[in-house]
Amino acid sequence: MYATSYHRPSSISEAAALLAATDEAKYVSGGMTLIPTMKQRLAAPAALVDLRHVADMKGIHIDGSRVRIGAATPHAEVAASSALRSACPAVTVLAGLIGDPHVRHMGTIGGSIANNDPAADYPALALALGATIVTDRREIAADDFFTGLFETALEPGELVTAITFDLPEKAGYAKFRNPASRYAMTGVFVARRGGSVRVAVTGAGADGVFRQADMEAALAGNWSADALSGIAVPSSGLLSDIHGDSDYRANLVKVMAKRAVLAAG
């Protein structure tokens, strides 16, 4: 790791000011990606602005059907939230499947969303729930937010402060873990609100998280795992690596989608 300076702001405005004050400064939340990257000397921010102590960015609030999760909320807190578990258990299930206990106590939802790792879990949740990504400057629909591998609609210096979404009627998440990293080799989040169904796939897409339109149409007409049986998932556009080629991932997309629907009930 190269030398860097560390800052611990307690408000969003202080964080933004600190970031602006140093060239090559970076926000760090749980640091689950950034810190290992720095240790490998692949990233060298001159300053780190730690978001984990900004009170306005923490906590889970459910107001009627609207859920707001502060960006600096760690996965373990989401996984353990009894309010969320009764309102939308798929969210807590997903959070509980991220990494291991150490990772879940450090990593945050905002960090995961902003990093947009193609194998991260939260992007699938955000896309399937039609979430809104709240920043210190604006609100961005999830559909517009994830723009490619590790790419988002965030502008330089823009800070994710919260994720909000309406509770779905039904939602489910199924994940097939990479045997080495335990990241999603394929994760599928399904959600239904009235006649509208969203199916979001992470871990499998060569361009990152994506919606599976054929499955959404099939499930809108018939909300059951069987409705997916006839769908052929193309392997084009899917990732291939030493753990799984695109054919295998295409299979996993379908299998995990079915399991997500079954989990959603």
Under 8 Å between Cβ of 164 and 72: no
Provide, rounded to whole angstroms, the least separation between the CB of residue 180 and another protein.
4
Contact call for residues 180 and 120 (beta carbons, < 8 A) = no
Q: Whole-number minimum distance, CB 69 to another protein, in Å?
A: 27
Q: Pick from 93, 252, 260, 263: which binds another protein (CB under 8 A)?
A: 252
Residue pair 192/169 in contact (Cβ under 8 Å)? The answer is yes
Query: From edge to edge, which strands make up the β-sheet containing 66-70?
Result: 60-63, 66-70, 160-166, 132-135, 139-141
And the tokens for 145? 């937010």
Range list of β-strands (E), the chain: 5-7, 25-28, 47-50, 60-63, 66-70, 132-135, 139-141, 146-148, 151-152, 160-166, 170-177, 184-193, 196-202, 210-211
Residues in binding contact with another protein, number by CB under 8 A: 16
Give the range of 6-14, 104-112, 120-128, 173-181 binding another protein by CB under 8 A: 173-181
Cβ distance to another protein smaller for residue 36 or 237? 36
Could you tell me which stretch among 13-21, 49-57, 214-222, 242-250 binds another protein (CB under 8 A)? 242-250
- 65, 181, 196, 222: which one contacts another protein (CB under 8 A)? 181
Kindly state the tokens that stand for 96. 């509980």
Instruction: Select the span of 105-113, 140-148, 216-224, 238-246 touching another protein (CB under 8 A).
Output: 238-246
User: Distance (Å, rounded) from C-alpha 234 to C-alpha 67?
Assistant: 34
Question: Letter for the amino acid at 42?
Answer: L
Kindly state the tokens that stand for 175.
């994940």
The reply to whether 180 sits near another protein by the rule CB under 8 A is: yes
262 lies in the site for another protein, by CB under 8 A: no
Q: Indicate the burial class of 136 (C-beta count within 10 angstroms; 0-12, 13-18, 19 or more).
A: middle
The one among 145, 146, 176, 189 contacting another protein by CB under 8 A: 176
Shortest distance, position 215 Cβ to another protein, whole Å: 16
Nearer to another protein, 47 or 57 (CB): 47
Of 64, 52, 67, 58, the closest CA to residue 15 belongs to 52
Under the criterion CB under 8 A, does residue 62 sit at the interface with another protein?
no
Output 139 or 247, the one with its CB closest to another protein: 247
4 is an interface residue for another protein by CB under 8 A: no
Nearer to another protein, 41 or 236 (CB): 41
- DSSP label at residue 149: T
Q: In which residue are the tokens 């009235």 written?
A: 194
Using alpha carbons only, what angle is made at residue 205 by residues 204 and 209, rounded to the nearest 5 degrees? 100
Instruction: State the binding string over 24-53 for another protein (x if CB under 8 A, else -).
Output: -----------------x------------
Shortest reach from residue 175's CB to another protein, in Å = 11
145 vs 176 by CB, closer to another protein: 176
Applying CB under 8 A, which residues contact another protein? 1-3, 41, 176, 179-181, 242-245, 248, 251-252, 255
